[in-house]
Amino acid sequence: MATLLSAFNIADGTTPVESPISWLVLAWVRREFVDTVAADAGGQSATSTAMPAGAVSAVINVKDYGAVGDGITDDSAAIKAAEAALTSGGHLYFPEGDYRFAQQHPAGDAALLLAGLSNVTVEFAPGARLLMDNLDANGHGTSHGIRVEGAASHVTISNPTIEWVTRPSARSFGDGLSVLGWPSDSPPPPQWVGSTGTVEFVSIVNARVVNAPQAGAVIMGASDVTVTNFTAIGTMADGLHFNANRRVTVDGLVALNVGDDGLAFVTYYDATQPWTYGPDDGPFNQSGLGEWNNGGSVASHIAVTGGPASGVRVQGGYDITISDVTVTGKEFGIQVNSAKATGPGDWTSLASRDIRISDVTIDGAQTGIVLATNNIDGTEDSMWWDFSGLSISDVTIRGSKNWSLAVETPSATTSKFAGLTLRNIYAESMAADGPTVGGNGGILLASLHDSVIDNVRLVSDHAGDINVVGAAQIRDQLSVGDLPSSNLTINDLILEGPGRILIQDIAGVRFGSVASYGADGSAVVLYRVHDASFDDITAYMPGRGTGAGYGVQILQVNDLDIATIAVTTDDHVGTSWWAVELGGGNPDHDIAGKNVRIENVTYVSGRDDTESDIVVQGGPYGPVGWYISAHWRHGGEAVPQWRSAVFGDTIPV
């Protein structure tokens, strides 16, 4: 075999492509070699479609149909003639060259249409480009580059470069690659004319799309799709977009300055309407979550840089794994949302389920991660707001201008975002990264239910906060005792910076460790919290500013258990200072606290004092059923010493 390969110049990486005959023989040799190696290894061929023994596919060379490939001659007619000659089992080949396609609104809406074909390959030689030069007088696109329509199976598009010669004036018609099938194992309804059925086993390898009027590639209603090493540059819409597919694998995506999302897994919702635009095209709708919501998909090695919208978006998805993602300079790094449309251009989608996103780095986004229920207030069926199985882990976020991470829901007492796991999230927001807006690079976890937060850390040199809050508007509508249970588990919530950790309007939370280092003001604030427990709360505050300062503020709380509070400060007290405050009661809302148990407060300062610096509101609005066991030491005393006391109206025996 080695001698035979050498005869065809494979050993040094060159490929004879001057004639269809040599390419035909070479294709056969390559197939035999791959199959022989696989057989020797006890495995299967790496190719997706095994050819029958002795079978040889016909090779169609576009130059044999009149294509010149000089970048000047209009090769439209030759490409269409080669397209017409391609049949199932065939191989269409573009030798090195620039193939200009200037025909506007071509048949099949594409420079190259593969309709109803199976076991076909379209291959571009190294250095071969399809130059799309068919914008209309307004600078709008008039066709796709390559289009695949069903029913079709085992379609391979290898090494295509599809480039629009002139950048379109606006987002308009035409994707670099377009695949349209039918998202079901059942046949399409009689009124469907967009394709003849499912497209399956599609491979797109080493594709490069530049300046497409719409997306780099849009895949709709296809099954078992593999995209390897895809590059989208300057497209007017998404880099790589999947709508209502099944079992997609993406291994390698570079999206540079695309006009919308870098990578999107999106399926829309309509209980009765199978498609959005009409019976000849998608996007497709699904009546609920299932395998055709891009189910069973895996995407990895994703790099998105520049442009608006999201680096990666998942909307209406099911059972999708995304890993090894780098996003730089986008509006949103990662976005997972459900939505109800309220106007033209909006999309309605259900809450995604079983989505796993990991190993992510986000730099310079307006918001690093946004998780949202758009126009969904939680009074609807849980299919709109329950994201069970959504896991986002091992993420680094730097330089976000708004929020580093935000869970956002409508302003209502009933809003919910359920089923989330966040684990190992590191966010860094520095003034040197540029001016911040809105969330100041902080973290917002709003309206969460049935969720787990584990090891979330924010490092900031300005007042970026970590906010864990219930649904908006609850404060004015519900008393503390009536707050609905969120059923949250939160551990290792850490802020390093002058901001504060605010836990507000929330019930049913089990906290492990909560820690604030370097706060300038209040370090940790519990405001209107019900049925919550903490293993430990740490407030480390050396060198505070000149204003008011509090280690831990506990305001209007019910049924609160805290095992340990540790507060450390220097000798500065500012305008007012307390290590721990239990208060906030007033006649218009709730008393300061009910059933509050703090097992151990350890407080260390540099002040010259003997008192505990623990303050508890008295009078009719003070707490009831409470106690605090405290130990403190002021290093500024002439002879510093530990003191201790137990405070409260319900002191344990």
Taking the C-alpha atoms of residue 611 and residue 640, their distance in angstroms, rounded to an integer, is 12
pLDDT of 34 higher than 50: no
| CA pair distance 234, 185, nearest whole angstrom | 35
Residue 476 CA: distances (Å) to CA of 416, 591, 601: 18, 15, 32
With H, G, I as helix, E, B as strand and everything else as coil, classify residue 152. Answer: strand
Average pLDDT on 94-100 reads 98
Q: Is residue 433 part of a domain?
A: no
Which among 56, 73, 97 is the end of a domain? 56
Predicted confidence at residue 653, as pLDDT, reads: 59
Whether residue 298 has pLDDT greater than 80: yes
Three-class DSSP category at 251: strand
> How does residue 545 score in pLDDT terms, banded at 50, 70 and 90?
low
Q: What is the pTM of this model?
A: 0.91
Domain count for the chain, please give it: 3
Residue 413 lies in a domain: no
Q: Give Cβ neighbours of residue 63 (< 8 Å, ≥ 6 apart).
A: 69, 78, 95, 97
For residues 443 and 570, the model is more confident at: 443
Tell me which of 39, 56, 73 is where a domain ends. Answer: 56
Smallest Cα–Cα separation from 239: which of 199, 200, 211? Answer: 211
Residues 580-595, mean pLDDT to the nearest whole number: 95
* CATH classification of the domain holding 187: 2.160.20
Residue 326 to residue 349: CA distance in whole angstroms: 26
- Structure letter (DSSP) for residue 11: T
The pLDDT value given to residue 11: 31
Tell me what the mean pLDDT of segment 404-423 comes to: 97
In a domain, 389, yes or no: no
Task: Examine residue 446 and state whether it is found in any structural domain, yes or no.
Answer: no
Which pLDDT score, from 0 to 100, does residue 444 have?
98
Asked if 475 and 592 sit in the same domain, the reply is yes
DSSP 335-383: EEEEE---STT---BPPPEEEEEEEEEEES-SEEEEEEEET--S-S-GG
345, part of any domain? no
Does position 53 have pLDDT exceeding 50, yes or no?
no
Token pair in block for residue 303: 């790099």
The residue type of 170 is A
pLDDT digits (tens, 9 = 90+) for 620-648: 999 999 999 999 999 999 999 999 999 99
Alpha-carbon span 547 to 572, nearest angstrom: 10
Same domain, 261 and 187: yes
pLDDT by residue (tens digit) across 174-201? 999 999 999 999 989 999 999 888 899 9
Residue range of the domain that includes 218 = 59-330
φ/ψ (deg, to 5) at 150: -85, 175
Phi, psi of 378 (to 5 degrees): 90, -5
Residue 1: the pLDDT is 31
pLDDT (tens digit per residue) in 319-348: 999 999 999 999 999 999 999 998 877 899
Contact 292, 183 (CB under 8 A): yes
Answer with the one of 30, 56, 82 that is the final residue of a domain: 56
pLDDT of residue 50 exceeding 50:
no
Q: What are the pLDDT digits (tens) for 423-443?
A: 999 999 998 888 889 999 999
How is residue 424 written in tokens? 């190992």
User: Based on the domain organization, do 236 and 164 belong to the same domain?
Assistant: yes
Residue 240 corresponds to which tokens in the numbers above? 């790589």
- Provide, rounded to the nearest whole percent, the portion of the chain with pLDDT above 70: 91
Amino acid (one-letter) located at 387: F
Of 30-44, 75-89, 138-152, 410-424, where does mean pLDDT reach its minimum? 30-44
Average pLDDT for the chain: 90
